[in-house]
Amino acid sequence: MFQFKLVLLGDSSVGKSSIVHRFVKDSFDDFRESTIGAAFLSQTIKIRDTSSDSTEDTVIKFEIWDTAGQERYKSLAPMYYRNANAALVVYDITQQDSLSKAQNWVNELKNKVGDEDLIICLLGNKLDLCDSSDNGDKRAVMTDEAKVYAEEQDLLFYEVSAKTGQGVKDVFQSIGEKLYQIK
């Protein structure tokens, strides 16, 4: 079994814990308590090894570190991202400011960890609040703005909803496949 370490970074309230819970427990809680410091969860996924003739799935285990977004915990983050294999940098699609915070994290990762050692994935969360006719459109960050930035910086990029689950599994699946390819 292959094991990879993931870390979630981003401003507080963008939905980091909710994304992890959606992925690990397939549930969503409107009143989740704030993460203090960091929280650890693990989950396995199966991937198909297309490079060999084997029809067996390969099992990958993720060790996921969900960090607290509050400013006072910022100094703890390097402990979690230093030996991570992938970082999920999350912003809230309905909060423009949270994208600049995410960009600060990307800069910090690139300065401190270096590109080759880490897969970075930019994740826009709360997609359920956008483009929906029932609730009105609360979108503040255009898809193209984030997408162009992610392409320039060579990041994976997805828009997801922890609330409905839209896109969440795909993110972890493609990170797993990418990590397995370069392992």
- Decide: is 132 part of the binding site for ligand GDP (CB under 6 A): no
Alpha-carbon torsion, ordered 29, 34, 37, 38, to 10 deg:
10
- Decide: is 35 part of the binding site for ligand GDP (CB under 6 A): yes
| Closer residue to ligand GDP, CB minimum distance, 139 or 163 | 163
Stretch near ligand GDP under the rule CB under 6 A, chosen from 30-38, 49-57, 76-84, 146-154: 30-38
Structure tokens at 89: 């940098």
Yes or no: say if 118 and 109 are a contact pair by the CB < 8 Å rule.
yes
- Decide: is 126 part of the binding site for ligand GDP (CB under 6 A): yes
Size of the site for ligand GDP (CB under 6 A): 19
Cα 142 to Cα 15, 94, 138, 149, distances in angstroms: 18, 10, 11, 11
| Closer residue to ligand GDP, CB minimum distance, 32 or 46 | 32
Using CB under 6 A, list all residues that contact ligand GDP.
12-18, 30, 32, 34-35, 69, 125-126, 128-129, 161-163
